[in-house]
Amino acid sequence: MSSFKDLKAWKKAHELTLEIYTVTKTFPSEERYRLIDQLCRSSSSVPANIAEGKGRDSHKDFLKFLIIARGSVEETKYHLLLAKDLHYLSKEVYARLNGGYDLVGKLINGLIRKVKKEVEASS
């Protein structure tokens, strides 16, 4: 059994989470317990759910956590849009991060398709 660290979706999500933590340091201090907290939580939820699901005993559990991770991708993309519209992120930084989350979403969708096949095969 491979580690969650071997999954491309986890690697890219982790990389983006680290970047989110860096860019939010430039946000206004009044956003500390609002947008900064929400953005850091939703971004870190993506790789955390991939890791937790990978560590579960069944393909069904892994599938459930992948779906949660996919939801966190969309939540993070909204928080990024809000940060851009509030002028906390430049259009360039927003485009790069949003594009990264588009890729993570596609990678997670690929994993979901693969795990669904494994669930069906074991039923």
The pair of three-digit structure tokens given for residue 59, joined into one six-digit string: 């393909």
- For the segment 2-17, the average pLDDT, to the nearest whole number, is 96
Report the number of distinct structural domains present in the chain. 1
Tell me which DSSP letter residue 55 carries.
T
* Domain membership of residue 24 as a residue range: 4-122
- Assess whether pLDDT exceeds 60 at residue 104: yes
What CATH number is associated with residue 51? Answer: 1.20.1440.60
Dist CA 59 CA 24 (whole Å): 35
- Assess whether pLDDT exceeds 90 at residue 123: no
Q: How far is CA 108 from the centre of its chain?
A: 9
The pair of three-digit structure tokens given for residue 33, joined into one six-digit string: 């317990």
> How many CA atoms are closer than 13 Å to the CA of 80, on its beta-carbon side?
27
- For the segment 79-103, the average pLDDT, to the nearest whole number, is 98
pTM for the structure as a whole: 0.95
Dist CA 32 CA 13 (whole Å): 22
- Assess whether pLDDT exceeds 80 at residue 92: yes
% residues pLDDT > 90 (the chain): 96
